[in-house]
Amino acid sequence: MKSSSPPPAPDYAGAAKQQGTANLESAVATAKLSNPNTYGPLGSQTVTYGTGDQQYTPTITQTLTPNAQATLNAQQGVERSLAELGQQGVGQAKTILGTPFTPNLPGIQTDISGSVSPVNQSAYTAGNAQGAIGGPTLKQGIDTSGIAAMPVNAGMTGQQAIMSRLEPQLTQNEGMTRQRLANQGLVPGGEAYNNEMRTMGQNRNDLELQAAAQGINLDAAMNQQGFNQAQNQGQFGNEAQLAQFNAGLQNAGLGNTAINQNFNNQLAAQSAQNAAQTQNYNQQLGLAQFGNTAQGQSLDQQLALRNQPLNQITGLMSGSQIQMPQFQGYTGANVAAAPIYQAANDQYNAAMQQYGIKQQNANSTMGGLMSLGSSAMGAGAMYA
C-alpha cells in the first residue's frame, strides 16, 4: 500500500509580512475610528491624512465660528490697546519711583514712664502675733494612799471581819457534833465517826471558802471605789487647767485675728492704690498705641498713593483672553489585528495531525494483512 505525502510547510515569511500589513491597516483604522471630526457651537476640529509617504500622518485643523473668531479678534485688540496704555503709565511710574520716598510722619512714642506714678512697694507694719502660750501641767498619776488595801492573804480586811463572825458558830457546831456522836456511842477512829467528822470538815471548809470569796469581793469593790474617786478628782483638776488654757488660747487667737484684720485692711488700701496706678498706666499706654496706629495708617495711605501707578499698569496688563473651545485630543489607540500568521501555523498543525491519523490507519491495515498472510501460510503447511 502506497503511503501519502505529508502536507507542505506554510510560508512563514509570507505569513509574517501579511501579519505586519494587517497590523498597520488595523492601526490606521483604529486611529481613524478614535479621532472623529468634531463640530460644536464655538467651532470645529477635523482630522485628515496625507497621501503617499504621508498617508499615515494625521493633520488636525481647529476652526472657530465667525462669531467666536470675531470675539477673539476684538479681545486681542483690547489687550493690545491696554498694553499700549500700560506703556504710557510706565513713564509716570518711572518718575514716581525715581523720587526718594520720604514719609511725613511724627515720631513714634516709645516711652510713657514720665506720666505714670510708681507702684507703692512700701511694707506695712503689723502687730506681732502671739505664737504660743504656756500650757497647764496635767497630772500623770493619782494618789492611791487613801484607797482600801487589797487582801494579800486570808484573814485581812473584809475577809477577816466575815471570818470573825463565822468562827464561833463553826466551833459551836463542832462541839455539838462531837457530843452527838458520843451520845450515839461512836468513838474516834471508827468509820461512822470519821465519816461524820469528814463531812463536818468539808462543810467548814466550804463555809470558809465562801467567806473568803465574799471578803475578797468586798475588798476589791472598796478598792475600786477609792480608785474611781481619786481618778475623778484628778480628771476634775485636769479639766479645770484645760479650761483655763483654752480661755488663754481664745484670747491669744482673738488678738491674732485683730492683727491679721488690721494687716488685711492696710494691704487692701495698698492694692487699691496700685490698681489706680495700673489703670492710669493702661490709659497712657492706650493713648500711645492709638497714636502709633494712626501713624501706621498714614504711612499705608502714602505708600498706596505712591504705588497707585504700578497697580494701574498691573490691572491693564492682566486682561483675560477668550476661552478657546476644548476639542478631543488625538489618540492612537490600537486594535488587535487578525492573527494571520498564527492561523497559518494552526492550519499546518491541523494538516499534520490529519496526516498522522492517515498514516496510523494505513499502518494498521498493512499489519492486519500481513497477519492474515502468515496465518494462511501456516495452515497450508499443516495440510501438506
Reference 59, options 27, 39, 31, 21; nearest CA is: 31
Q: How far apart are CA 319 and CA 124, in angstroms?
A: 76
Amino acid 155: pLDDT: 43
pTM, two decimal places: 0.32
The domain in which residue 6 lies consists of: 1-29+338-370
- As given in the structure block, the three cell numbers for residue 204 are 467548814
Q: Does some domain include residue 127?
A: no
Residue 18 sits at φ, ψ, to 5 deg, of -60, -40
pLDDT tens, per residue, the chain with 384 residues: 455 677 776 777 677 778 778 887 888 888 788 888 888 888 888 988 888 888 778 888 888 889 888 888 888 887 788 777 777 777 777 777 777 767 777 767 677 666 666 666 665 566 676 666 666 676 666 666 665 555 544 445 666 777 777 788 888 888 888 888 888 888 888 888 888 888 888 888 888 788 778 777 877 776 677 677 767 777 777 777 777 778 777 777 777 787 777 778 777 777 887 787 777 778 777 777 777 777 777 777 777 776 777 676 676 666 555 556 666 676 665 555 667 778 778 878 887 888 888 778 777 777 766 776 666 565 555 555
Q: Is residue 201 situated within a structural domain?
A: no
**For the chain, what is the domain count?**
1
The answer to whether residue 363 sits within a structural domain is yes
Are the CB atoms for 25 and 334 separated by under 8 Å?
Answer: no
**Cell 497590523, residue located:** 23
16, part of any domain: yes
CB 221 within 8 A of CB 157: no
Q: Where does residue 5 rank: exposed (0-12), middle (13-18), buried (19+ CB within 10 A)? A: exposed
d(CA 355, CA 137) in angstroms, rounded, equals 139
In a domain, 162, yes or no: no
- Where do the DSSP E strands lie in 50-204? 58-64
CB contact set of 65 (below 8 Å; sequence gap of 6+): 41, 42, 43
Assigned domain for 150 exists:
no
Residue 63, strand partner residues: 44
359, part of any domain:
yes
Residue with C-alpha cell 501579519? 19
Domain presence at residue 63 = no
Question: Vertex 241, ends 240 and 245: CA angle to 5°?
Answer: 120
Q: Which residues contact 262 (CB under 8 A, 6 or more apart)?
A: 126, 127
